[in-house]
């Protein structure tokens, strides 16, 4: 499963990229606003840090303006992936862009039927929001299972990008189901490293090493 980080914070992206685990980045207008920086400037800098897809979202809601915005965004770098909402106009834009060879991430997916539409429109990625789904009384992972089944039934090339990931259990469940990608905030990805027995093991090794009075350096 590919790991994307869901942030526009440059330091956090650099830190995770240094681990070799980072396959891409997702952003949105809310995350860019939190960074307090220029949208295009931030996107360009992120594209220079990671080789994989960097999702940059259009803010228009009509097809014609989405296409104009996408034209500007995809010139920023070769690894920009245009992010569009799962609406009729969004899927028109998806179809037009994907037909031209541009990567497209269709976002705000909350049903398997919506995911089916996105795949038929040629989406590179579909982003079902599991956390928000959970918040509203549904099981977000049931949605991922349904999408996986449908995509496998018809051999769709669209990759399932699990979004709105809230905790490490979401990551584990997504991997077990067979999602292609997950995107999570830096804190969730860092939490994947943590285990009480790992911490105890390191403490024990360090204590035993101290007793030897030796130094590797």
Q: What is the CATH number of the domain that holds 40?
A: 3.20.20.70
DSSP bridge pairs for 84: 106
Residue 115 domain flag? yes
Residue 110 domain flag? yes
State how far the Cα of 6 lies from the Cα of 74, in Å rounded to an integer.
Answer: 19
The arithmetic mean of pLDDT across residues 53-77, rounded, is 97
Dump pLDDT digits (tens) for 79-119.
Answer: 999 999 999 999 999 999 999 999 999 999 999 999 999 99
Please give the positions annotated as active site: 83
3-state DSSP call for residue 177? helix
The arithmetic mean of pLDDT across residues 133-152, rounded, is 95
What the block records as the tokens of 149 is 């089944």
Q: Does 127 have pLDDT greater than 90?
A: yes
What is the per-residue DSSP string for 11-78? HHHHHHHTTT---EEE--HHHHHHHTS-HHHHHHHHHHH-SS-EEEE----SHHHHHHHHHHHTTS-T
pLDDT-based confidence at residue 171 (cuts at 50, 70, 90): very high
3-state DSSP call for residue 155? coil
Q: Does 148 have pLDDT greater than 90?
A: yes
Residue 91 domain flag? yes
pLDDT-based confidence at residue 145 (cuts at 50, 70, 90): very high
Residue 217 domain flag? no
The arithmetic mean of pLDDT across residues 181-185, rounded, is 98
Residue 99 domain flag? yes
Q: Does 30 have pLDDT greater than 90?
A: no
The arithmetic mean of pLDDT across residues 141-151, rounded, is 98
Dump pLDDT digits (tens) for 190-208.
Answer: 999 999 999 999 999 999 9
For the whole model, what pTM was predicted? 0.94
Q: What percent of the chain has pLDDT over 70?
A: 100
Q: For residue 50, what pLDDT is reported?
A: 97
- Direct distance between the N- and C-terminal alpha carbons of the chain, in angstroms, rounded to an integer: 38
Total number of domains constituting the chain: 1
What the block records as the tokens of 66 is 């989405």
Q: Whole domain around residue 148: which residue ranges? A: 2-212
């Amino acid at each position: 499963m590919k790991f994307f980080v869901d942030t526009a914070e440059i330091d956090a992206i650099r830190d995770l990229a240094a681990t070799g685990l980072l396959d891409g980045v997702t952003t949105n207008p809310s995350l860019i606003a939190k960074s307090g920086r220029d949208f295009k400037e931030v996107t360009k800098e992120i594209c220079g840090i990671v080789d994989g897809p960097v999702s940059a979202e259009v803010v228009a809601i009509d097809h014609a303006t989405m296409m104009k915005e996408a034209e500007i965004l995809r010139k920023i770098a070769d690894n920009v992936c245009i992010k569009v909402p799962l609406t009729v106009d969004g899927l028109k834009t998806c179809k037009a862009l994907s037909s031209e060879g541009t990567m497209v991430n269709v976002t705000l997916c909350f049903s398997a039927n919506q995911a089916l539409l996105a795949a038929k429109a040629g989406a590179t990625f579909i982003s079902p929001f599991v956390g928000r789904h959970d918040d509203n009384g549904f099981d977000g992972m049931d949605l991922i299972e349904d999408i996986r089944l449908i995509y496998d039934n018809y051999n769709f090339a669209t990759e399932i990008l699990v979004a709105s990931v809230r905790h490490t259990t979401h990551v584990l469940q997504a991997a077990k189901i067979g999602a292609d990608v997950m995107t999570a905030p830096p804190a969730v990805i860092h939490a994947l490293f943590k285990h009480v027995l790992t911490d105890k093991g390191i403490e024990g090794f360090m204590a035993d090493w101290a007793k030897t009075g030796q130094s590797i350096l």
